[in-house]
Amino acid sequence: MKKLISTMAIIIGIIVLSIPYINNLIIQYNINTKRNILNEITPEEIEENKNTETNYDYDSIIDIETNSLLWEIKDFDNKYIIGQIAIPDLGIDIPILKGTTNSNLLIGATTMVEGQEMGERNYPLAGHLMKNKSLLFGSLMDIEVGTVVKISDKKMIYEYKIYDTVVVPDTALNMLDDIKAEKKGKPIISLMTCYYSSKTGKRFFALGELVDIYTYP
């Protein structure tokens, strides 16, 4: 009996230790899958996807856990893909999805305000901070002033340059307002992730100003 209990304890321990690894595998697989879809999707389809109804219920967002991953991922729909974000210096290259939902956040960066447009006003994007820096916004907190950020709708590429990083309370919704772009005197991008953990009650923002717009190759 004692041997059985010991064996079960070892098995449970292995499963618990494997959870982060399983998380990473699931997320990486889905990012790769959606990136392939992004490569095939047309600018016209992206334009149509911009009209998709979605949610911006920040309070419903949960931390990434294995027991919720498969459930949330099954709810994902390709109609939410509206673009791509690339930060070469950080190795970030993931889809942009319309709406801040749990399923969207498992795939890429999500829009945070209804009606936001690339290259106009304030363009806020949210992404999960991961222990594995190669996933989602896992490396965002390593960003430095001067770093180039590119977003695209497959018609145009919008290039921003980071000018500031800040840590704010998770209640600071003013970070999403267009008035921040008005004060800057040009369109900006606001990249947000949790400050180490959602439980800190703080959010990390990297702010960039629009420096160039050119045709998608």
How many whole angstroms from its chain centre is CA 109?
A: 2
Q: Phi and psi for 107 in degrees, rounded to 5? A: -110, -35
Lookup: tokens for 121:
């006003």
Lookup: tokens for 33:
């899958």
Contact 96, 82 (CB under 8 A): yes
- Return the C-alpha torsion angle 89, 165, 31, 80, nearest 10: -130
Active site residues: 128, 194
Report the chain's terminal Cα–Cα distance, integer Å: 66
Rg of the chain in Å (alpha carbons): 18
